[in-house]
Structure 1
Amino acid sequence: MDQSTNNFSSLAVTKEDCHVDSEFRYTLFTVYYSIIFILGFIANSYVLWLFTRVYATKKLNEIKIFMVSLTTADLLFLITLPMWIVYYHYRGDWIMPSFLCNLAGYLFFVNTYCSVAFLGVITYNRYQAVTKPISAAQSTTRRRGIYVTIAIWVLIAGPSSYFLFGSGTTQEGHVTRCFERYDPESSNIPVLASHIVICICFFITFLIVVVCNASIIRTLLSQKPQARKSAHIRQRALYLVCTVMIVFVVCFVPHHIVDLPWTLMVLGKWDISCRSKRWWDHIHQVTLFLLGANCVLDPVIYCFLTKKTVESVPAPAEICLSSQSPLPAP
């Protein structure tokens, strides 16, 4: 993994008379990250407290384990936001110790792809609960949830440790940039390869999410609920599915559509005009703006939207979802 896998960097390169730097990002992200930090920290702290204090740890099932991990990933990124706020306030000048830049870059990457992975497995879990409720109820979900969670953290946090030990800061004139440069003396092949692998893995996950959610919607709409509570649960399940899709389409998909062309441009493998380079960099910043919203939307999806579901679970005779309802009932 190369420094270039840090997808939050900005292209601020001067080649002859072509200076590419999205100046609007400095004010935008200073304000935006301040809002995200306050809202996200409060919301995710509440969710974590809810699962670790209100609900006994021994009662955590597979879906709750995934939700706790998703919240933890969000909080790890949120604690670095004050550093990014200072960075953008000083117009892209990292005035703090360089090791903090490495830490901030590491946690940004880990949060982004742990969030994608856990949203994916949560969706698959709900797919199993809705389409195969009996087998889902009989499976040892707690142990499986622990194994899957450990695997996700190891596969993402492990390779990402490059950010902790690589060179995160570079000098550009009188300012120190944090993960905003590629080493021109090193090979660009690993850089490009890493971005290709990341994009392929993301869109495979997104495809799984789309297929699973489509099956959930089809199954729920084909049922004929016989009780008011059943109809209520089905409605909330549909809200959950739609909201998950909104988070993927709004927060993650735009960034991964733009990322590969942007990387080719930065590496000089896509020869376009200076004006086009500036345009692509502006678009890239917009996708980063959308990407940051997932820290606030995650607790909305998996806690606030469904926190009363457990009170409305119908009897097995009313609907086949019973204890494996389509909603993660905390």
Structure 2
Amino acid sequence: MELNDSSRVDSEFRYTLFPIVYGVIFVLGVIANGYVLWVFARLYPSKKLNEIKIFMVNLTVADLLFLITLPLWIIYYHHQGNWILPKFLCNVAGCFFFINTYCSVAFLGVITYNRFQAVTHPIKTAQATTRKRGISLSLVIWVAILAAASYYLVQDETNSVPNKAGTENLTRCFEHYEKGNVSVLVIHIFIVFAFFLVFLIILSCNVVIIRTLLAQPVQQHQTAEGKRRALWMVCTVLGVFIICFVPHHMVQLPWTLAELGYYTSFHQAINDAHQVTLCLLSTNCVLDPIIYCFLTKKFRKHLSEKLYSIRSSRKCSRVTTDTDVVMSLHQMPVAPLKN
């Protein structure tokens, strides 16, 4: 663990922002993704999962991996950016953050390509046996990203910085880049350009999907509903990318250059923006389950039935309560009127 200088900029608002945002995301994300896995386990036996559902399950697992580390980050930011936990947990938290980010990008990418094939070549896609391809692609994605993420497990990613309060040093987690480190810069350039390449492919596929769907004549209500659902799915995937991933990768390269000392202008502003984009990046764990509603009919039907039963039970309980009150009033003895 190295001792870092105190000249590094800090965004102190993050010590309030991250515990709140991560706390909300942890609760909502665990509920949403846990429910998704529970529904898939009930509705779809593993042997009946097709390609798209295999990708969805893997995306959910990637989200849950990140969610289980959020309490670690909440503790870290609550203690003013001081890692008080065992050092290996810092490595695990950073590793799972990387896995979630790029597994999400990869699986959203293959989901989009799957829908692109279904819209542009519907007969060929319907006839294809896609389960094996889904498993194979998922394995390739996991192996590639786990191999890349393993780097974060073997390096010591903690460093010490002086405490402004004048007490003992603070232990930072994943917050130290050696000035002028060219290899770190090359890695970040590769990651950012690879992301935007994937994003351009996804954007192109979605534009083709939208144009194809809008060009198709609507002959019946069922067709119109399916088209509307497909369009909403496209918009949701694009929305997740634009809200969660694009801002972070737009800021990542300028932030890396500033951290390495190559570009020091507006360092504080860039660092502030970087903290906000990290919060946006983590919201994909909550937004991903929304996509599933537009992808699978059974999932949507099951969710609708559950929501309807909850509303019905509330109405019944209200009616029962009101009836009991009315009956109680009728059963009350009437006092004689006094002149």
TM-score of the aligned structures, taking structure 1 as reference length: 0.85
Deviation at 1:271, TM superposition (A): 3.7
Partner of 1:8: none
1:94-133 to 2 correspondences below 5 Å: 94-133=83-122
CA shift for structure 1 position 55? 1.1
Q: What is the aligned partner in structure 2 of residue 225 from structure 1? A: 218
Query: Which of 41, 44, 51 is the aligned partner of 2:30?
Result: 41
Q: Is 2:257–2:263's contact at 8 Å kept on the other side of the alignment? A: yes
Match of 1:14 in 2: 6
- Which amino acid is 1:135 matched to? K
CA 1:310/1:222 → structure 2, altered by over 3 Å: closer, same or farther?
farther
Counterpart Cα distance in 2 of 1:38 and 1:61: 29
- Residue 198 of structure 2 aligns with which residue? 205
Deviation digits for residues 146-169 of structure 1, max 9, x if unmatched?
A: 110000001111121011111021
- Structure 2 residue aligned with 1:267: 260
Tell me, in whole angstroms, the C-alpha distance in 1 between the residues paired with 2:67 and 2:298.
28
Greater relative contact order (CA < 8 Å, ≥ 6 in sequence): 1
Using the TM superposition, give the Cα deviation of residue 96 of structure 1 relative to its aligned residue in structure 2, in angstroms: 0.4
Seen in structure 2, the aligned counterparts of structure 1 residues 309 and 58 have a Cα distance that, compared at 3 Å, is closer
**Which structure 2 segments of 5+ residues have no match?**
163-168, 302-339
Match 1:180 to one of 175, 178, 188: 175
Matching residue of 1:82:
71
Matched position secondary structure for 2:6: strand
Question: C-alpha distance in 1, partners of 2:124/2:282?
Answer: 37
Aligned partners of 1:307 and 1:159: how far apart in 2? 32
The one of 143, 146, 152 aligned to 2:135: 146
Which among 274, 286, 292 is matched to residue 296 of structure 1? Answer: 286
Code of the residue aligned with 1:222 in structure 2: it is A
Which residue does 1:196 correspond to in 2? 189
Structure 1 gaps of 5+ residues are: 1-11, 313-330
Question: In the alignment, is the contact (CA less than 8 A) between 2:230 and 2:294 conserved in 1?
Answer: no
CA distance in 2, matches of 1:13, 1:235: 56
- What code does the residue aligned with 2:106 have? A
The residue identity in structure 2 corresponding to 1:111 is N
Q: 1:13, 1:20 within 8 Å by CA — same for their partners in 2?
A: no
Equivalent of 2:157, from 142, 155, 168? 168
Tell which structure's C-alpha radius of gyration is larger. 2
Q: Which amino acid aligns with 1:243?
A: T
1:282 equivalent to 2:282? Answer no
State the AA in 1 paired with 2:119: V
Aligned partners of 1:232, 1:310: CA distance in 2, in Å?
16
SS at match of 1:270: coil
Deviation at 1:49, TM superposition (A): 1.6
Letter in 1 for 2:229: R
Distance 1:116 1:82, change over 3 A: same
Aligned length: 292
Contact 2:10–2:271 (8 Å) recurs in 1: yes
Distance (Å, rounded) in 1 between the aligned partners of 2:63 and 2:193: 23
**Which shifted more, 166-175 or 194-203?**
166-175
Q: 1:150 to 1:54 in 2, by over 3 A?
A: same
Instruction: Give identity over the alignment, percent.
Output: 58
AA partner of residue 14 (structure 1): S
More helix by share: 2
Change (3 A) 1:180 1:279: same
1:327 paired residue number = none
Deviations 1:161-197 (CA, angstroms, capped at 9, x unpaired): 011111021111221111110245xx71110010011
Q: Which range moved further: 56-65 or 46-55?
A: 46-55
Cα separation, 1, equivalents of 2:271 and 2:222? 50
**CA apart distance, 1:310:** 7.8
TM-score normalized by the length of structure 2: 0.83
* Shift in Å, 1:54: 2.3
Residue 24 (structure 1) aligned to one of 9, 13, 21: 13
Of residues 244, 250, 262 in structure 2, which corresponds to 1:251?
244
Structure 2 CA distance for partners of 1:55 and 1:309, relative to 1, 3 Å? closer
SS of the residue corresponding to residue 94 of structure 1 reads: coil
1:14 match: secondary structure: coil
Cα distance in 1, alignment partners of residues 189 and 282 from structure 2: 22
**1:52, distance to aligned residue in structure 2 (A):** 2.5
Q: Distance in 1 between matches of 2:101 and 2:221?
A: 39
Cα distance change of structure 1 residues 13 and 288 upon mapping to structure 2, 3 Å threshold: farther
- Partners of 2:76 and 2:276 lie apart in 1 by 18
CA drift at 1:311: 8.5
Equivalent pair of 1:233/1:309 in contact (CA under 8 Å): no
